[in-house]
Structure 1
């Protein structure tokens, strides 16, 4: 039997709708919803439509994202309207539809973030937006800096309490919080401001459709974490296997993370290199490979504590544990350099233009790096750090073990005669 051929693609219009429902929609959005043969959205959004929107109503299943291609295929050739909260292209369904090749026509509505900034009088360009819809609350920790204004998109009515608990746990209990509910609708409520420390005592549960405004305030005894690599060593739980602060900053400088790039961190230890790679930009990705299960669990705790719970940890020994991992943009080798073929495997995995950085403190591994430097070029440096310490009634220098670092970029065009 000849398999059925798919029908022509759907005509998909994505309509942003706010808490004000049908009355708040402009005429082009209303017209698109009246014309639609299929209306797809959440139950709350579909209930906002009047009877004159006569198309078949289809509620999104859960989980939503895997259902997108199936629903598009089921309704191929028909006029489909998809409802989205606020601006469909701002943490909305518009992105998923575009990534599935639907090429939707998008009719946006003011987002809850725009409404919140307007109600608070906050310039939107000075505000950091963090969504916790379908994401762990721990990711908020990476945005906590003294005086920073945050708008947090809530998953439900319980999210504000989770935010307050996280702020207290991370030493930001004095932060000011306000919950803004049903923005733009007739049940809008901007709430009263309080601190994360006082949240449970002063704030009852509220509406599930809410945005949380936070003005960050760090408690006086809280460790200060900056926005660039080189966090204090005290920020990490570790057993001594930790790339120390100054070497870590130099290593991240050599790795040169950029938005969207993927790092392999081999011999993760405490996970500090991968954690600080991820903290440079929300779009960065990282996989840490660590053979010790105890350390692997510790890496996960550090990642959650420092606001990058998306760090993937692979428990196993490299190079075998590297099989099947997605292609990296950069590789850091912080341990296991003497494992047979490890460096060659990492080099082969890199695409043209990818970066590799390896650190060592042993003569045996240093010899391997010297050989790799002769074959592939790059930069071979020795990093030495000394700390001032008491010497009797005076002060002197105590030098840490020097670190040999090889940093190299894989050529886009192979070097003549290079051993690849």
Structure 2
């Protein structure tokens, strides 16, 4: 018979032990050690086990927990530990048989119950340890968002950030200590926020309103969403390139010669579980790239590698797609063909005659699709208008 799990993760609400199930109480009674943040230990009250306050930063507590492996240990977490909670981190390196979890009522469920919002139609974000910019891709009038915040001060920071984005009319529902005796709910707008006594734990319900700029869902966002020095894959070409890259759920992209990062960032905006390794050798462009990704709320899913391909490709996650926007050469294509797995998609854009000739040879040898993209934009020509042509782009895309 298999041994019982040594680790039990219990979701504790603001009502403390009153909200525990019989199974949770039994696990606590059998525990030799109880670990948790000081606030949770205070909510729990006296127990027979030895209590250990989880340290700050959070990562410092993992080795201490692992040192207790094989003993009876309970770890306290907020509400549902596996919904923007600590659960996934705690069990990341443990096989299923070593742990069990007993979730409580999640803050999101309690907030939705107070506000009457359908959770399936509400964005839920945990921003207690993440920047407010994670909200940027979903800011649009009439959108509803539930946000877990770091502390009371973060509520004021959120309000000011919404004002700065042009969404000062957003209605804020401040929900404090949900489910416990200190529960409190107050309503204001971002522009009128003047509360200085918001207490932790706090969840904010946002009904987005205002005239702020909305980030479109379709690929090919306007160039001015990105900080750049003029060297950027222009909007129409970017849309065609993203179509050729064909992002799919969970896919990883190598963005070679990433520049301002517009291709990689558009890739990340296509899905919340997409990731990018961006290779860029110029420090100024690399700084713009990371700044753009952070401002548009996707910086946590982009890894910058400062260097040149193919040398900089060593040790990167296996890609589902590769984009070559700079540094195109015979040596690079040969290396990529050896590195990328079967089924991976390779897309390269060329402007110079030499690069065009190279892509033409690879297309003839390896197949795929080869396009010549020519664009012209109406512009002033004296007192009338005429067509101003951009340099044509040759694009080769192929599945390995």
Fold match by TM threshold 0.5 = yes
Matched, 1:308 2:298: yes
Task: Calculate the TM-score normalised by the size of structure 2.
Answer: 0.92
2:224 to 234, 239, 249: 234
1:402 to 383, 392, 396: 392
SS in 2 for 1:190: strand
Task: Calculate the TM-score normalised by the size of structure 1.
Answer: 0.88
Which residue in 2 is equivalent to 1:97?
90
Matched, 1:359 2:349: yes
Asked whether the equivalents of residues 10 and 80 of structure 1 are also in contact (C-alpha less than 8 Å), the reply is no
SS in 2 for 1:251: helix
Deviation of residue 345 (structure 1)? 2.1
Asked whether the equivalents of residues 84 and 125 of structure 2 are also in contact (C-alpha less than 8 Å), the reply is no
Aligned equivalents of 1:401, 1:145: Cα separation in 2: 35
Aligned equivalents of 1:285, 1:12: Cα separation in 2: 32
SS in 1 for 2:238: helix
1:75 to 64, 68, 72: 68
Deviation of residue 392 (structure 1)? 6.0
Matched, 1:109 2:104: yes
Which residue in 2 is equivalent to 1:417?
none
Matched, 1:266 2:261: no
SS in 1 for 2:204: strand
- Structure 1 gaps of 5+ residues are 1-7, 411-420
Which residue in 2 is equivalent to 1:206?
198
Note the alpha carbon deviations across 1:243-301, whole angstroms, 9 max, x for none.
11111111111112223222111111211011111112222111212222111111122
Deviation of residue 118 (structure 1)? 0.9
SS in 2 for 1:273: helix
Which residue in 2 is equivalent to 1:216?
208
Aligned equivalents of 1:72, 1:236: Cα separation in 2: 43
1:349 to 315, 330, 339: 339
Q: Does the C-alpha gap of structure 1 residues 278 and 205 become closer, same or farther in structure 2, counting only changes over 3 Å? A: farther
Deviation of residue 393 (structure 1)? 6.4
Note the alpha carbon deviations across 1:316-348, whole angstroms, 9 max, x for none.
22222223333222111111113x611222222
Matched, 1:319 2:310: yes
Aligned equivalents of 2:359, 2:60: Cα separation in 1: 45
Deviation of residue 205 (structure 1)? 3.9
Note the alpha carbon deviations across 1:41-61, whole angstroms, 9 max, x for none.
11111122232x311212222
1:50 to 42, 45, 49: 45
Note the alpha carbon deviations across 1:327-382, whole angstroms, 9 max, x for none.
222111111113x6112222222122211111112111111111222232221112
Matched, 1:197 2:191: yes
CA RMSD of aligned residues (A): 2.1
Task: Out of 286-295 and 92-101, give the one that drifted further.
Answer: 92-101
Which residue in 1 is equivalent to 2:361?
371
1:62 to 56, 68, 86: 56
Aligned equivalents of 1:275, 1:218: Cα separation in 2: 25
- Structure 2 gaps of 5+ residues are none
Deviation of residue 401 (structure 1)? 2.3
Matched, 1:328 2:322: no
Asked whether the equivalents of residues 359 and 406 of structure 1 are also in contact (C-alpha less than 8 Å), the reply is yes
1:38 to 15, 33, 36: 33
Q: Does the C-alpha gap of structure 1 residues 66 and 405 become closer, same or farther in structure 2, counting only changes over 3 Å? A: farther
Note the alpha carbon deviations across 1:392-415, whole angstroms, 9 max, x for none.
6665543332211111111xxxxx
Asked whether the equivalents of residues 11 and 79 of structure 1 are also in contact (C-alpha less than 8 Å), the reply is yes
Deviation of residue 66 (structure 1)? 5.9
Q: Does the C-alpha gap of structure 1 residues 352 and 388 become closer, same or farther in structure 2, counting only changes over 3 Å? A: same
SS in 2 for 1:191: strand
Matched, 1:153 2:148: yes
Asked whether the equivalents of residues 373 and 380 of structure 1 are also in contact (C-alpha less than 8 Å), the reply is yes
Number of aligned residue pairs: give it.
395
